[in-house]
A and B are shown apart, each in its own frame.
Chain A
Amino acid sequence: KQEVTQIPAALSVPEGENLVLNCSFTDSAIYNLQWFRQDPGKGLTSLLLIQSSQREQTSGRLNASLDKSSGRSTLYIAASQPGDSATYLCAVDNAGNNRKLIWGLGTSLAVNP
């Protein structure tokens, strides 16, 4: 059974720091992995989608990598800003799971001015 874990659960950093959020999964048979951002009281916004055949995706200051063999994805945020404060979730589209995403619990990020 696929399980998705995000560590740490919470992170507080000073503005300007480069940081890495982790997402690990137990079954490497995935179609894709997606990173989302959720602001308090809001819905989720997709940040990056990595297909299983890809190693990484980049969007602005964000870079997501995928290593299926080790069951890991990282979201790298460069030069963090207070506006990056949010909860970041990853979700795996599992090949054996009949079109149901498997979600991590998220990492709550606070970037302090």
Chain B
Amino acid sequence: NAGVTQTPKFQVLKTGQSMTLQCAQDMNHEYMSWYRQDPGMGLRLIHYSVGAGITDQGEVPNGYNVSRSTTEDFPLRLLSAAPSQTSVYFCASSLGQGSFGNTIYFGEGSWLTVV
């Protein structure tokens, strides 16, 4: 059981380039989300999905797109990278949220530097 798998682990981008961070989970979780973690600001939610075909915005969605065509995969796309998007990105999944809340599983993180 691999859990939550993120790729790549490290990436350097030039300003204006686009890229996709991949996230896959093998636990049949409905709820998936993407966070960025910056020093002094904690974890901030970028986008989330409550099931295949359903996505919604979090706190800091600008500059990012997501899609959820399958239960397993939840890729995060940077449309035109900016230095402000230099951060560590985490994908997370859980069986449910809210009143059905369950343990949340995180990927190992993707370190992104935009120059």
Interface SS majority for chain A: strand
Task: Flag whether B34 is at the interface (Cβ < 8 A).
Answer: no
CA distance A41 to B88 in the complex (A): 9
Task: Flag whether B97 is at the interface (Cβ < 8 A).
Answer: yes
For chain B, the count of residues having a C-beta within 8 Å of the partner chain is 24
> Interface stretch among A15-23, A43-51, A63-71?
A43-51
Known contacts A44-B106, A45-B106; A100/B101 CB under 8 A: no
Task: Flag whether B99 is at the interface (Cβ < 8 A).
Answer: yes
Cβ-defined contact, A34 with B108, below 8 A: no
Please give, as numbers and ranges, the residues of chain B lying within 8 Å of A100 by CB-CB distance. Answer: 45, 48, 58-59
A residues touching B (Cβ–Cβ < 8 Å)?
31-32, 34, 36, 41-46, 49, 51, 89, 91, 93, 95, 99-101, 103-106
B residues touching A (Cβ–Cβ < 8 Å)?
4, 31, 40, 42-43, 45, 48, 50, 58-59, 90, 92, 97-99, 101-109
Interface CB pairs A-B, < 8 A, 6: A36-B104, A44-B104, A89-B43, A91-B43, A91-B104, A103-B43
